[in-house]
Chains A and B, each alone.
Chain A
Amino acid sequence: MKHWWWKSLAVALLLVASIAAFWVPLSPALVHVSPSRIAPGEVVIHVTGYNTHFTPEMRVFIENDGQQVCASMIETIDATHARIVMNVPQGLRASMSDLSVQGLLYPGAFYSDALGDGIENDGCGNVNKIELQTPGFTFPNRSILYESIRNLHFHVPMWFTMIVLMGISVWHSIKGLGDNSLDRDRKAVSAVHVGLLFCGLGLTTGAFWARATWGAFWTNDVKLNGAAVTALIYLAYLVLRGSIPDAHKRARLSAIYNVFAFMLLVLFLFVVPRLNAIDSLHPGNGGNSGFNDLDLDNRLRVIFYPAVAGWILLGTWMYDLRERSARLRELTEQ
């Protein structure tokens, strides 16, 4: 129990976080509204929702500069599609209008160019009357991201785990330079092996996420370039090891290179993205909103932190196993 409690903790955290990452539904949202222009007169609007339960009794209105227009007829096709008829009056004050369906807001839904001094407010936007849905525990539903928001719980922990493993590696390398021990060298290289695996997983999960949200598997983004170069550096570390036959010399030279490699990892993953953040498409960089802006009620964090802890523990566990099997291989070879 004393030795494997953290392994059970890793399994428990990963199970909970991964199941929740797939299980938790997205909160309802309006994803598509057509047409995008309205003019005074009768307008037929098609609304597409996601995870919604449209009913003919739902409250639908257009909001224009604080003034509301109610729907004159609502026809629900199914739970996520509705046809709405509106009588748009003359004299809307602002050119952009928002659409509200069942308490869900689609900001800037319509554009109209025939403007006036305002309309008679029919008061159907009265907030108290909106039948608020209580969807329970949900993830934020944002355009572009949509369901891919779940990837946050897989993509980001991979990088955290890689950084921890490379940190373990450089720690053993520095220690090994001091005491010339081959044990330290074995630990350093085992950590790099597992760290590279997590780097590969981070790149893969990132590539699929990029395809879904940015439109391409690979883009010219500072963080992507940094990750790619970090991978190259650690692959070069393995090549360096492979080219030195003498074990003690290999331990010393690769430890020196490892210190360099870790310095560049820190530079590439922490300093450079902040220096020219303009080049980044990543959330939280270059003026993009970060996940903390989406995650106002901390629902992502509740899953994200256990996922990070779980993956880091799993990575450490894998490193431990790899190191022990390498030690056994050395012992059997002797």
Chain B
Amino acid sequence: MKTAEIAQLLRLEVALDLRQRAAWGGMLLYVVSAVYVCFLAVKGGLGTATWNALYWIILLFAAFNALARSFQREEGGRQLYLYTLADPRSVVLARTVYNAITMMVLSLLSLMFYALFLGSEVLASADLPQFLLAVVLGGLGFATVLTLISAIAARAGNGLGLMAILGFPLVLPMLLAVMRASKLALDGVAWSVTSTYFGGLLLLDVITVTLAWVLFPYLWRD
């Protein structure tokens, strides 16, 4: 594992994204629009279960939207250039870390907008640290799975359409676990109950990152 290389690649990601600020703006606008559409559609109070489900559905689509482009940049010559410069494993790890950070920021921002428009009464009775942990772990989980999927989709040369088909079933265990965990957190259930789900989520993340680490060199090779 080359930490220096990963850090360098991470810095490259940040620099590229800072140069293209429209991408981040696009992601935020997507979330805000989705939340606003929900606000207009719902009109009035939501129960805890619906509030939770709607939030995760918005976040799921936001994740697909945000992460689909993560390997679109490398087309033709640029991929080859990067391949000669860096170890593919560093590339995938750097990109997973970057996507994880993106998703964490995005999920917390969307939570803010969501609470603003659709009401935060639900959060009043919730175990807030637990709920935030669920949000962060959920974003992390989406990022780890979708990074590899977006790489496969980009290599297959068929971006978003294929990404949705390949990604939805793979992201489902993550989504189910995180929805259950955050629902329990919203109900204010004790740590001893929810810790199974948090443990499961972390385990899923670790398995996914390990698989990405093992498989990515094969994907990157042409």
Q: Which residues of A come within 8 Å of B, CB atoms?
A: 177, 225, 229, 232-233, 236, 239-240, 243-244, 249, 252-253, 255-257, 259-261, 263-264, 267-268, 272, 275-276
Contact = CB atoms under 8 A, between A and B. Distances in A.
A107 to B, nearest CB: 36
B170 A264 contact: yes
Nearest to B215: A256
Contacts of A232: 168-169
A263 B156 contact: no
A147 to B, nearest CB: 35
Nearest to A244: B156
Interface of B: 148, 152, 155-158, 162, 165-166, 168-170, 172-173, 176, 180, 196, 200, 204, 207, 211, 215, 218-219, 221-222
8 contacts: A225-B176, A232-B168, A236-B165, A239-B165, A253-B156, A256-B148, A267-B204, A272-B176
Contact of B155 (A233, A249, A260, A272): A249
A262 B168 CA distance: 15
Nearest to B167: A236
Contacts of B222: 249
A272 B175 CA distance: 13
- DSSP majority for the A interface? helix
B170 A260 contact: yes
What 10 A-B pairs have minimum CB-CB distances, sorted nearest first?
Answer: A232-B169, A233-B169, A256-B215, A243-B158, A177-B218, A244-B156, A236-B165, A236-B166, A229-B169, A229-B172
A75 B148 CA distance: 74
A263 B156 CA distance: 21
Contacts of B211: 259-260, 263
B148 A244 contact: no
Contacts of B158: 243
Contacts of B207: 263
Given A253-B152, A253-B156, A275 B170 contact: no
A240 B162 contact: yes
B52 to A, nearest CB: 17
A275 B196 contact: yes
Given A243-B162, A253-B152, A256-B152, A272 B173 contact: yes
A288 B165 CA distance: 35
Contact of B169 (A177, A243, A256, A264): A264
B134 to A, nearest CB: 16
B156 A243 contact: yes
A290 to B, nearest CB: 22
Of A249, A256, A259, A268, chain B has the most CB atoms within 10 Å of the CB of A256
